[in-house]
């Protein structure tokens, strides 16, 4: 895809997405993939030094990244942001601070806020690190989200996120492709477009790279559980009714033809990793360009 224009949106049904992530099945889903991606995100930040007192985990879900963020950023307050209250309520009790701990901002305190990460309830320049693991691609307008993250980041602050890229679930797209004209996999954003969005949003020196990860499954039931655990189909143009038996048989046959040399079923994930720094503002809130003059000595 090309970089989205201001009025454009990806074909994501936000209400359907929220329902998918709020089901009982999703609330107990295995989060192996997110933990592995978080580990790889941290590896990319291993040489970065930043003093942080507030870290925002944007799209934190059940707080699975809290432990590694606390380990990485020491005494910083970790604040988890998620739009879905049922997911926040899954955060283990040990990660929920008492009122006193919250007031004193103890080193092991983690806060939870039910909010949309595209409209954060925080003052400008109030966060040192903004972290988001496999969440940004669920927003239909990422080019509008990143300016909001830029607003909240302090000058010199760090943003780091991961997201799925266009080759994610290519096996699913290949299996359904010949059967109908509908899209069955989300149109994930390209890594180069994320880089452009970061710069346009006021971040500097962005570093964006990509890895491909292939997961294998012994049976199709396990594969489909993984697909559903990722959020299922939240496309606006998804099929509203049930497919017939013949349709399902053709999908199964397509996956049978794609099995690897050991007879296992596979799913490909294109993982995009990005981080950048919040730069000095280039325009005022009224849209006027800021020009800094320096006296010659």
pLDDT in tens, 160-172: 999 999 999 999 9
**Which stretches in the chain have pLDDT values below 50?**
1-2, 24, 27-29, 94, 96-108, 291, 293
CA distance 45 to 276: 11
Q: What pLDDT shows up at residue 24?
A: 47
CA distance 227 to 242: 17
Q: What pLDDT shows up at residue 44?
A: 96
Q: For the packed helices 220-229 and 245-257, what is the interaxial angle rounded to 10 degrees?
A: 100
Q: What are phi and psi of 79, to 5 degrees?
A: -115, 115
Q: What pLDDT shows up at residue 283?
A: 63
Q: What pLDDT shows up at residue 103?
A: 39
188, 270 in Cβ contact below 8 A?
Answer: yes
Query: In CATH, what class is 14-168+187-214+269-278?
Result: alpha beta
Both tokens of 56, joined, read 């925002």
CA distance 25 to 99: 31
Q: What pLDDT shows up at residue 92?
A: 58
271, 37 in Cβ contact below 8 A?
Answer: yes
Both tokens of 223, joined, read 């594969």
């Amino acid at each position: 895809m090309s970089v989205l224009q201001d009025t454009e949106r990806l074909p994501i049904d936000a209400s359907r997405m929220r329902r998918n992530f709020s089901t009982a099945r999703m609330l107990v889903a295995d989060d192996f993939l997110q933990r592995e991606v978080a580990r790889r995100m941290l590896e990319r930040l291993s040489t970065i030094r930043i003093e942080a007192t507030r870290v925002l985990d944007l799209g934190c879900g059940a707080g699975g990244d809290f432990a590694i963020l606390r380990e990485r950023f020491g005494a910083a307050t970790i604040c988890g942001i998620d739009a879905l209250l049922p997911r926040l309520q899954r955060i283990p009790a040990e990660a929920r601070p008492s009122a006193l701990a919250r007031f004193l901002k103890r080193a092991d305190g983690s806060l939870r806020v039910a909010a949309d990460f595209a409209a954060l309830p925080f003052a400008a320049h109030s966060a040192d690190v903004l972290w988001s693991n496999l969440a940004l691609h669920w927003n239909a307008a990422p080019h509008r989200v990143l300016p909001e993250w830029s607003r909240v980041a302090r000058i010199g602050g760090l943003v780091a996120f991961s997201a799925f890229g266009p080759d994610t679930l290519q096996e699913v797209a290949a299996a359904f492709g010949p059967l109908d004209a509908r899209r069955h996999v989300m149109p994930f954003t390209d890594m180069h477009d994320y880089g452009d969005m970061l710069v346009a949003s006021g971040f500097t020196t962005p570093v964006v790279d990509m890895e491909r990860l292939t997961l294998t499954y012994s049976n199709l039931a396990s594969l489909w559980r993984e697909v559903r655990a990722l959020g299922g189909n939240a496309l606006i143009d998804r099929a509203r009714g049930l497919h017939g038996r013949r349709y399902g048989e053709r999908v199964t046959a397509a996956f049978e033809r794609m099995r690897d040399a050991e007879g296992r079923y596979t799913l490909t994930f294109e993982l995009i990793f990005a981080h950048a720094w919040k730069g000095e503002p280039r325009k005022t809130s009224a849209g006027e360009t800021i020009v800094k003059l320096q006296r010659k000595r």
